[in-house]
Amino acid sequence: MTDDASPDQPATDGGTTVTDESSAFAADGATSAGVTEGCGFRDAVRGTVEVAAREYRLAVRRRWAVGAALVFALFSAALVVLGGSSVGPARVGAVLASFAQVGVYVVPLVALAAGYDAVVGADESGSLEMLLALPLSPRSVVVGKYAGRAAAVGGGMLAGFAVGGALLVRYAGVGVVGAYAWVALVAVAAALAFLGVGVLASALASEKTRALGAALAAWVWFVLVHDLVALGAVAAFDLPGWAVSVAVLANPADLFRVLVLRSVSTTAGGIAGVLAGTGLSQGALAAALAAWVLVPVAGAVAALGRRAV
């Protein structure tokens, strides 16, 4: 808590009052023997879980879960309905492909918006200083914050996708459940990757406005600019086919798009078609997406360790 905060004026964590949460966090075990005694793996896990639970409660209070559910309910329902009430087995592939083509804009935006203030917002409110004053490592704080927000956003996304799934089952039958579930799970995985990028931007930024600017810049690069630059370079310099594979691996938005398009029978055109035609296996694509979750969070841990709080 900052020195100029009065006892009657609670601090906020990114716009949400945290005095009660901070007290609950301490009472739940952050200062108990389970966390304060020793610094072993078990204590680190307990501290991380406590931070994650606190962050989840804050995210729910800030309506991130409800917001994600509403956004993806409207998104999935609109794509299914716009596919027409005559959607059948022959049209399911086209409807699912549209999730990749349109979702590549929506999924990163929601995830980056949820993560950009995770560290810097807590720093500005004073709650980060409170957490680090407890026997918690930077790793426990960052991983806990990431996990709590991931649970809120991921849960909201799945609830929203369930609405579109119900409509699709109504039009095309229960046989589409497996393919649709894969699309929803890949979308959540991509969101977790971009959430990690947002948390990394938050840990590196000195102010919340700069973190927001970095998150928006990341969205523009990964969604709008990256593919144009990469494929333009491939065409201009006559680079070999593996260069396209490298471009896909270097962009979590492309990984999301390719993983979805590979699972449907419809052939995509344009940039999406070129990307989907890479020789990368499903396992390599999934492993790369997992790396996009782990590496930014690890970077955020390192950045918080060097941050002056």
Confidence of residue 287 (pLDDT cuts 50, 70, 90): very high
Confidence of residue 7 (pLDDT cuts 50, 70, 90): very low
Confidence (pLDDT) at 197: 97
Q: For 10-43, how does the pLDDT look when each residue is reduced to its tens digit (9 = 90+)?
A: 444 544 444 444 444 443 434 433 334 444 788 8
Q: For 47-80, how does the pLDDT look when each residue is reduced to its tens digit (9 = 90+)?
A: 999 999 999 999 888 888 899 999 999 999 998 8
Q: Which two tokens stand for residue 142?
A: 């960052």
**What's the CA dihedral at 106, 107, 108, 110 to 10 degrees?**
80
Stated pTM of the model: 0.84
Does 1 have pLDDT greater than 50? no
- Report CA-CA distances (Å) from 251 to 17, 42, 246, 256: 36, 35, 9, 9
Percent of residues, the chain, with pLDDT higher than 70: 81
Confidence (pLDDT) at 89: 57
Lowest mean pLDDT among 54-63, 139-148, 182-191, 193-202: 54-63
Lowest mean pLDDT among 114-118, 142-146, 272-276: 272-276
Mean per-residue pLDDT of the chain? 83
Q: For 205-218, how does the pLDDT look when each residue is reduced to its tens digit (9 = 90+)?
A: 999 999 999 999 99
Note whether 227 and 243 are within 8 A (CB).
no
Confidence of residue 275 (pLDDT cuts 50, 70, 90): low
Mean pLDDT of 186-196: 97
